[in-house]
Amino acid sequence: NVTLTIDGQKVTVPEGTTILKAAEKAGVKIPTLCFLEHVGLRHIKHDVGACRVCVVEVEGKKDFVSSCNTPVEEGMVVRTHTPKVIAARKLNLEMMLSDHHLDCPTCPKNGICELQAICAELNVRQIRPQGEKKDFPIDDSSPSIVRNPNKCIVCQRCITACKVLQTVDALELYGNGFDAVVRPKGGLPLIETQCVACGQCALVCPTAAIVEKDDTWKVWEAIADPKKHVVVQTAPATHVTIGEAFGLPVGTDITGKMVAALKRLGFDAVFDTNWSADLTIMEEGYELIHRIKNGGVLPQFTSCSPGWIKFIEEFYPDLIPHVSTCKSPQQMLGPIAKTYYAEKKGINPEDIFVVSVMPCTAKKYEAARPEMNAASKYWNNPNITRDVDVVLTSRELIRMIREAGIDFASLPDEPYDPIMGEGTGAAQIFGATGGVMEAALRTAYEVVTGKTLPKLDFEDVRGMKDIKEASVNMNGVTVKVLVAHSLGAARQLMDKVRAGELKDYHFIEIMACPGGCIGGGGQPIPTTVEERENRIKGIYERDKKLKIRKSHENPEIQAIYREFLKEPLGHKSHQLLHTHYTP
Ligand code: HC1
């Protein structure tokens, strides 16, 4: 242990503790800006000391030291809030503002900008140094993410998220001093880099230097068009996250309120991606059984997380034959809306406009993939272009609800519309890491054994551990499964698959984001480790509450097989619900 004095108080902390943490223990709050305790997972920290907002005076040292990354020393005497320290912090912030555009009223982060908040907290009222305003071009080359380097304060949180958490490493620090900026590797437009569109950079960016692409205007236009029949689907993770923005506790189940809000926004029908998650389980579960019985490529990998799909295409193309051919639930609902639903309702599929509400920035990229046009091929009609026309992130839906003046927290609960509105508990847990696997096991066990599963909860695959493992005996075969979340964890598993070390495993679930979709790049900010954990709690509580908790027992899924698809992996399923990735 080390004992030091902070603002006159003696504090004893373990060796290696930073001044910032020791001060916290002494009840002293030092302001921070670039510091991030946990980038997505508890073991990934960001303490580069770049912003120098957390500086303190240490007796005997000539210069101020940044408290976030300076370890304590025996006998150290620290002063955190002397007039000199306060003035230094303010000056550091003023330097940051001196070349900033200060277009706060129209900034996408207006009201939730950490730079704005810290300036308010530290009572910054003037900008003495005057620098030349930055003049970088805005990079909107990605369908998911917009980079505005003029708003970059070089905190480098995005670099840690991309390089350490996700091991994608698409961003770099370039230049120095006033000219320093974070940019895509080699100065390329983002779309030309290895970026997988996961949006973890946008979650940690304190300003609007990296944000989701705003597509809300396309949805307003579609709703205003009387010719269009505009339907919307809501992802599993959104059921427990949208409420945060309206003051409800993190993890609150706001399903009924979200449906009510979407109806008030003017959507013609409100459907649930949970319905198509159940459909995915039918197709993916049967695919797994088929691979096991027929000597197919194993382990099978899940395919619903588009950031993960881009990651495997980019870094492990040789392993693509392991990836399930199932499209994601988002991309299953789209073509079904423009075929089965269109037929049942007698609506011209050309007039159907499908909107998704997703926790994920990569879903925008997924929907824009050229092969995601199954309805067009089904009808042989080039006027139908995409299966899913627009993807909104959770944050965009929140903005639309605010724009429409809807008092979200006091809305009544309203039900989804029939045909694609029913979702089971199995589908609900798709939103948390391990959920797709657990849902698949609930169905595969009963299909293979013909017996009722004695216990529905597969606790081993739940929770925030990076890599989880379980095995289930099905008619004498021990089915072995693995689950990983975050692409850094996925990389660990992929290296083992490549080395032939996981040959006796059958199924691997990968979700690109820490915690699964509840921690997606399009979710409400902040998305900290604590938020992720509370959202996961909300997901499993909703699963427990639902009467039907297994995908194959969903009556609307049984209906689509009876009336339209006929059987899992059948002809229509292949036309509409499956795809192939080319190595
Ligand atoms: Fe997900 Fe999925 S669970 S990928 O995380 O399979 O985004 O929520 O919608 O499609 O269902 C996301 C969430 C989501 C799909 C489903």
Render pLDDT for 421-442 as a digit per residue (tens, 0 to 9).
999 999 999 999 999 999 999 9
With CA atoms as reference, report the closest residue to 237 among 475, 525, 515, 553: 515
Integer CA distances (angstroms), 475 to 99, 439, 447, 479, in order: 67, 19, 11, 10
* Cα–Cα distance for residue pair 441/550, rounded to 1 Å: 10
Atom of ligand 1 nearest to the CA of 360: 7
**Pocket probe mutation, ligand 1, options 203, 310, 328, max atoms within 8 Å of Cβ:** 328
Q: How far apart are CA 187 and CA 21, in angstroms?
A: 36
Q: Is 490 left (phi over 0), alpha (psi -120 to 50) or beta?
A: alpha
Across the range 238-253, mean pLDDT stands at 98
pLDDT band at 581 (very low <50, low <70, confident <90, very high): confident
Tokens (6 digits) for 204: 């940690």
**What pLDDT shows up at residue 429?**
98
Render pLDDT for 122-171 as a digit per residue (tens, 0 to 9).
999 999 998 888 899 999 999 999 999 999 999 999 999 999 999 999 99
Mean pLDDT of 52-64: 97
Q: Is 349 helix (H, G, I), strand (E, B) or coil?
A: helix
As for ligand 1, residues whose beta carbon falls within 6 Å of it are 235-237, 273, 277, 304-305, 328-330, 358-360, 363, 430-431, 516-517, 520
Three-state DSSP string of 249-301: CCCCCCHHHHHHHHHHHCCCEEEEHHHHHHHHHHHHHHHHHHHHHHCCCCCEE
- Say whether 468 is catalytic: no
CA dihedral 440, 446, 452, 458 (to 10 degrees): -20
Report the DSSP pairing between strands 269-272 and 229-234: parallel
Q: Kindly give the distance from the C-alpha atom of residue 141 to the centroid of ligand 1, in angstroms, as a whole number.
A: 24
For the question of an ipTM over 0.90, the answer is: yes
Task: Write down the mean pLDDT value for the chain.
Answer: 97
pLDDT at 131: 85
pLDDT band for position 53 (50/70/90)?
very high
* pLDDT(326) > 90: yes
The proportion of the chain whose per-residue pLDDT surpasses 90, expressed as a percent, equals 98
Question: To test the ligand 1 pocket, which listed residue (304, 369, 487) has its Cβ within 8 A of the most ligand atoms?
Answer: 304
Report the nearest atom of ligand 1 relative to the CA of 305. Answer: 4
Mean pLDDT over 222-236 rounds to 98
Residue 467 burial class via C-beta count within 10 angstroms: exposed 0-12, middle 13-18, buried 19 and up: middle
Q: Say yes or no to pLDDT of 582 above 80.
A: no
Determine the residue type at 193.
T
* Closest Cα to atom 9 of ligand 1: 235
550 assigned to active site: no
517 belongs to the catalytic site: yes
- List, in sequence order, every residue forming a beta bridge with 301; answer none if it has no partner: 323, 508
Confidence of residue 23 (pLDDT cuts 50, 70, 90): very high
Instruction: Please say if the pLDDT value at position 256 is more than 90.
Output: yes
Distance 577 CA to ligand 1 centre (A): 15
Which among 327, 424, 430, 509 is the best mutation to test ligand 1's pocket, defined by most ligand atoms within 8 Å of the CB?
430
Q: What pLDDT, in 10s, does the model give residues 535-549?
A: 999 999 999 999 999
Short-list 578, 580, 582, CA closest to 336: 578
Q: Which of 310, 327, 338, 363 is catalytic?
A: 363
What b/e string do you get for 110-145 counting C-beta neighbours within 10 Å, with b at 16 or more? Answer: eebbbbbebbeebebeebeeeeeebeeeebebbbbb
Checking if the pLDDT of 583 tops 80, the result is no
- What is the atom index within ligand 1 of the atom nearest the CA of 302? 6
d(CA 114, CA 95): 16
Report pLDDT digits (tens) over 91-115.
999 999 999 999 999 999 999 999 9
